[in-house]
């Protein structure tokens, strides 16, 4: 995990729409997979409670063997595996060869912009089969800091992701969703490898990614049990595993924005993941909950003493592997969910604009209709929806310029009709937020659920002082806490900065169980 969050870069030019492998820049090697198995035409995400095949027990012995190999690589190459060194190149070769031998289609993706000069490649591996329009990615950064071999940070995450990939290949379950594994370069220098990958994806490929799971520092010796975006649908799937073994979990606040999931959050892909803590001191309450001492979760964070086996907890890393496998098997091999409510927004179904009478936006209120495209340093309002003709958009007309009908002056909100929530339900939708470089974190796109006890925020995408073009993404959030209740979905967009250019869109809202 990198030490500090760097200032956001200026937006990069988008890749043109074409096949995914063609869109990858600087591919050095492609290994052809075995013949792909047939995939259902419309497979979709399974809820955490419905599993077609039991998730496997990920071998702790194998995870440790991978970490031991990464230590040996560091020992033979100057004591570290920094992205620009021979130690990193040897780490890439080790992971690549294991995946290729197991039957994956594997590429070395060279980072041709934004990475440290001389940084090695990302490693991207696809398992054949599963619906190509439903993709789940598990990723970890493969590089270390210069100070040491980086065993907890992040050989632990890399070993975990690698062993899950090898277990999937060995068991060959029937897949509803497509599965991809990624090992990122140059994370310690600023999330550069994952950011290059994410920003290189055409919009159509982004929309196919239904979730990204990140694994960074998953074996801290004084560790805790942290989940990124724990209230999201993906986060709840990971939490379900820890709940099943009686281990309490918390939101990963220390790692927020500091690892490769941030690169996917930035392009609208829903993320989650597992971490065990870095330099932050474990609180007394956390000691009471998890054991250990009121010292740093990882006392060797970014130090030469981050070595194997002394700086890894077998228990913590073993649980991380099993939680990851539980989530992947649930989502990729489970029974498709039953749609209990959906709205493609092609006809009026009872959505209410400004339902509480408190909206402050003077322009760009939510409306259902056929949107007109607007452009300002890139597309800001999309002229196409994810299905059909209509969607929910903030001021659907283009006007004389991109700023004619964008959100101005505050908040605009729209609320769904009432929905009765069954057990084990989740909410999903396609969405986007676009803004110019005159935006700030005060601007936002937000999804909340209005229930008998009030209103609860499920998701917020904040603005930033950088250009963000419109691109459809997909989000999914658990509604398990509202089982049996009649709820409504509340969607808000805000221009709360001075003279900001803000647009948002929503389509294909559904509740599944």
Active-site amino acid positions: 187
For residue 45, is it left (φ>0), alpha (ψ between -120 and 50) or beta?
beta
What residue spans of 172-283 are helical by DSSP H? 192-200, 203-208, 233-244, 261-265
CA–CA distance, 447 with 266 (Å, rounded to integer): 17
Closest CA to 197 of 257, 149, 264, 132: 264
- Show Cβ contacts of residue 89 under 8 Å, excluding neighbours closer than 6 positions: 120
Residue 167 host element (H or E): helix 156-171
Closest CA to 157 of 213, 77, 222, 73: 213
The angle, 0 to 180 degrees and rounded to 10, between the axes of the packed helices 156-171 and 314-333 is 40
Are 100 and 176 in contact by the 8 Å Cβ rule? The answer is no
CA–CA distance, 384 with 151 (Å, rounded to integer): 46
Tokens read off for 424: 């084990």
Structure letter (DSSP) for residue 274: E
Are 441 and 393 in contact by the 8 Å Cβ rule? The answer is no
The CA-based diameter of the chain, rounded to the nearest angstrom, is 67
CA–CA distance, 362 with 169 (Å, rounded to integer): 55
């Amino acid at each position: 995990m990198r030490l500090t969050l760097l200032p956001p870069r200026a937006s990069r030019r988008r890749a043109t729409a074409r096949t995914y492998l063609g869109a990858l820049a600087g591919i050095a090697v492609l290994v052809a997979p075995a013949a792909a198995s047939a995939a259902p035409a419309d497979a979709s995400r399974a809820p955490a409670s419905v599993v077609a095949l039991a998730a496997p027990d990920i071998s702790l012995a194998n995870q440790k063997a991978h970490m031991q190999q990464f230590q040996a690589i560091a020992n033979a190459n100057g004591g570290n595996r920094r992205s620009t060194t021979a130690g990193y190149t040897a780490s890439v070769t080790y992971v690549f060869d294991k995946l290729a031998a197991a039957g994956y289609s594997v590429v070395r993706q060279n980072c041709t912009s934004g990475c440290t000069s001389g940084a090695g490649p990302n490693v991207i591996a696809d398992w054949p089969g599963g619906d190509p329009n439903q993709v789940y990615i598990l990723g970890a950064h493969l590089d270390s800091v210069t100070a040491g071999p980086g065993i907890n940070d992040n050989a632990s995450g890399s070993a975990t992701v690698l062993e899950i990939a090898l277990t999937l290949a060995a068991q060959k379950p029937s897949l509803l969703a497509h599965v991809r594994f990624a090992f990122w370069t140059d994370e310690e220098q600023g999330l550069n490898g994952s950011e290059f990958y994410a920003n290189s994806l055409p919009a159509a490929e982004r929309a196919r990614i239904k979730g990204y799971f990140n694994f960074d520092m998953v074996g801290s010796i004084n560790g805790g049990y942290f989940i990124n975006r724990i209230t999201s649908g993906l986060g709840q799937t990971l939490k379900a595993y820890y709940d099943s073994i009686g281990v309490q979990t918390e939101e990963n606040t220390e790692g927020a924005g500091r690892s490769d999931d941030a690169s996917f959050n930035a392009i609208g892909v829903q993320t989650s993941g597992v971490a065990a803590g870095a330099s932050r001191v474990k609180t007394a309450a956390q000691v009471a909950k998890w054991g250990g001492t009121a010292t740093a979760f990882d006392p060797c964070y970014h130090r030469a003493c981050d070595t194997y086996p002394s700086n890894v907890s077998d228990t913590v890393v073993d649980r991380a592997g099993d939680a990851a496998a539980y989530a992947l098997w649930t989502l990729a091999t489970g029974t498709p969910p039953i749609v209990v409510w959906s709205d493609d927004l092609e006809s009026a179904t009872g959505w209410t604009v400004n339902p509480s009478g408190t909206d402050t936006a003077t322009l760009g209120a939510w409306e259902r209709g056929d949107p007109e495209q607007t452009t300002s340093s890139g597309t800001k309002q999309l002229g196409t929806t994810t299905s059909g003709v209509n969607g929910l958009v903030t001021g659907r007309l283009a006007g004389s310029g991109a700023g004619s009908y964008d959100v101005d002056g505050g908040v605009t909100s729209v609320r769904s009709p009432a929905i009765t929530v069954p057990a084990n339900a989740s909410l999903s939708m396609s969405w986007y937020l676009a803004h110019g470089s005159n935006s700030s974190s005060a601007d936002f796109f937000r999804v909340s659920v209005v229930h008998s006890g009030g209103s609860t925020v499920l998701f917020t995408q904040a603005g930033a002082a950088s250009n963000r073009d419109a691109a459809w993404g997909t989000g999914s959030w658990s509604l398990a806490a509202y089982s049996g209740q009649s709820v409504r979905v509340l969607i808000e967009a805000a221009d709360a900065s001075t003279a900001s250019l803000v647009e948002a869109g929503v389509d294909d809202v559904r509740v599944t169980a």
